[in-house]
Structure 1
Amino acid sequence: MAKTVLITGASSGLGAEYARQLAARGAHLVLVARDRAVLEDNAAQLRRAYGVEVEMLPADLLTPRELEKVVARVADESRPVEMLVNNAGFGLPLAFERNDISDEVDHLRLHVEVPMLLTHAALGPMLARGHGRIVNIASVAAFIPRSTYGACKGWLVSFSRWANGRYAGSGVTVTAVCPGYTHTDFHHRMGLPPGEEGVPAALWLDARAVVRDSLRDVARGAAVSVPSLRYKLLTGLARLAPPSWAARVGERGR
């Protein structure tokens, strides 16, 4: 297991679950999120439960000066980060034409520009050491047309596939994790109360299982991880289906 893992978007949802499961395996953590109070509470719980070191790095990744702090921490060879988990993100309504374009630009920056910058910062030290793991949290939306969210996640999957092929031979693996609908607070932060997402119950996943399955794929050096058999089948069908059908599927939920 990695000695030190840096996780963005670590205050809740999948980011917090990655922190728990990695701490349980003995990894020390660097937690990045905007809310200092939540980070402090999470860090205290992780230290008590698992006896690991937890460093807090409060930062708004859409603020250049704060992003620079995180980039510098990832690149710091005196305090090596063995695993980077690019998890920070947010969702927008699917009606691109009605969304505020500044929100769309921030959405693009957080889902594409930020993980690209952090991956670049991580690669130098990892390649110099000859080992490291980079985990990019994408989505099954990468395979199913879904407004700009699917487009951003599609970029992340394509980039991760290429990077894994390019750098795995040098000891650094890059994995795009593509969960389906997962029970976290992601949809709540979009203003959608539980049960109002318009998604059948059978399609919902448990965050603990998503993280557990993805870490198994990361350990194997997989370029892409799609947790759960149901979503492996769905993404396989989406690749073969007519674009009009895939677009209709992508309209399900919000």
Structure 2
Amino acid sequence: MGMNRRLCLITGASSGIGAEFAKQYAALGWDLALTARRADRLQVLAAELHARHGVLVEVIPEDLANPGAPPRIIAALEGKGREIDALVNNAGYGLPGTFLSTSWSDQADFLQVLYTAPVELTHRVLPGMAARGFGRIINVASLAGYTAGSAGHTLYGSVKSAMIKFSESVAAECETLGHKDVHCTALCPGFTWSEFHDVNGMRETTNKMPKWMWMEAAPVVKAGIEAVNRGQPVVVPGVFNKAVATLTRILPEPVGRALAHSQTARYRKLEG
């Protein structure tokens, strides 16, 4: 029954964009595997989606800061005889403070969760997708991957930029090797309403920003799913975000850096 449906693995699925991905894939009739640290939230979401859409939902509580998490997640699904047809690498957070004021342990965990773990999960699921002739990988990057570096949250922009390049490379390799229905897309949202800004301590600051700069999670996720289905390597949802991404490409680099520096206090927390 459910074993004949496609399965989508979503990281960071307990809230925000991750939970919205779960809702939209469930509405499309996909079974789900949801992973995050908060098992209680995953269970509530799983029960809701099963009741509403009749899909099977596996809950796998894991902390991706632990290097052993990616292989355990894959092994848990393989142990149930499930193949992963789609992967949404969504788990992430912002690390407040400067590089000088934060510990290496915190920075290492950040790199593990936002870069190493999604790259490893992609590496683990991609061979099966290629062998079956179907696969969808969405890496949730950010508009910050396009903008110049600035003070605070030091590694965030560089990691998101790397996720964009990584996604483009995987997409190009799949196309070059003839895996025509295996697609990889970097989804690059700007400011999106979610718990993300509560976790990184920026809610008070971001609440002062103009509402037209923000998007709801639903259209962001919809743009990502539609883009990966048509084989688009990168998608920037929203008119404002598209304008910013375009502007970063045409502005002289010194101007872009000066602009980013002048806006730092609006969207970066320099104290941990």
TM-score grouping bracket, smaller chain normalisation: over 0.9
* Aligned counterpart for 1:216 among listed residues 188, 206, 226: 226
Q: Who is 2:189 aligned against?
A: 179
Q: Who is 1:79 aligned against?
A: 82
Q: Who is 2:267 aligned against?
A: 253
- 1:121-132 to structure 2, matched below 5 A, reads 121-132=124-135
CA offsets 1:158-205 (integer angstroms, 9 cap, x no match)? 011011011133131110000000000000011233554553322111
Q: Who is 1:62 aligned against?
A: 65
Q: Who is 1:13 aligned against?
A: 16
**Change in CA separation of 1:198 and 1:242 when aligned onto 2, cut-off 3 Å:** farther
Asked whether the equivalents of residues 82 and 131 of structure 1 are also in contact (C-alpha less than 8 Å), the reply is: yes
Q: Who is 1:243 aligned against?
A: 253
* Aligned counterpart for 1:153 among listed residues 160, 164, 171: 160
| Counterparts of 1:213 and 1:87, CA distance in 2 | 14
For normalisation by structure 2, the TM-score amounts to: 0.87
Structure showing greater relative contact order (alpha-carbon pairs closer than 8 Å, 6 or more residues apart)? 2
Does the residue aligned with 1:91 lie in a helix, a strand or coil? coil
Asked if 1:163 is matched to 2:170, the reply is yes
| Counterparts of 1:82 and 1:131, CA distance in 2 | 7
For normalisation by structure 1, the TM-score amounts to: 0.93
Q: Who is 1:50 aligned against?
A: 53
2:186 partner letter: A
Asked whether the equivalents of residues 64 and 113 of structure 2 are also in contact (C-alpha less than 8 Å), the reply is: yes
Larger radius of gyration: 2
Asked whether the equivalents of residues 70 and 121 of structure 2 are also in contact (C-alpha less than 8 Å), the reply is: no
Of all paired residues, the percent bearing the same amino acid is 38
Asked whether the equivalents of residues 77 and 125 of structure 1 are also in contact (C-alpha less than 8 Å), the reply is: no
CA offsets 1:5-45 (integer angstroms, 9 cap, x no match)? 00000000100000001111111100001111111111111
**Change in CA separation of 1:145 and 1:75 when aligned onto 2, cut-off 3 Å:** farther
Asked whether the equivalents of residues 70 and 120 of structure 2 are also in contact (C-alpha less than 8 Å), the reply is: no
1:155 partner letter: A
Asked whether the equivalents of residues 47 and 53 of structure 1 are also in contact (C-alpha less than 8 Å), the reply is: yes
* Aligned counterpart for 1:98 among listed residues 95, 98, 101: 101
| Counterparts of 2:76 and 2:156, CA distance in 1 | 28
| Counterparts of 1:191 and 1:163, CA distance in 2 | 34
| Counterparts of 2:232 and 2:195, CA distance in 1 | 27
| Counterparts of 2:156 and 2:91, CA distance in 1 | 13
| Counterparts of 2:233 and 2:206, CA distance in 1 | 33
Asked if 1:117 is matched to 2:124, the reply is no
| Counterparts of 2:255 and 2:182, CA distance in 1 | 37
Asked if 1:33 is matched to 2:36, the reply is yes
| Counterparts of 1:218 and 1:233, CA distance in 2 | 21
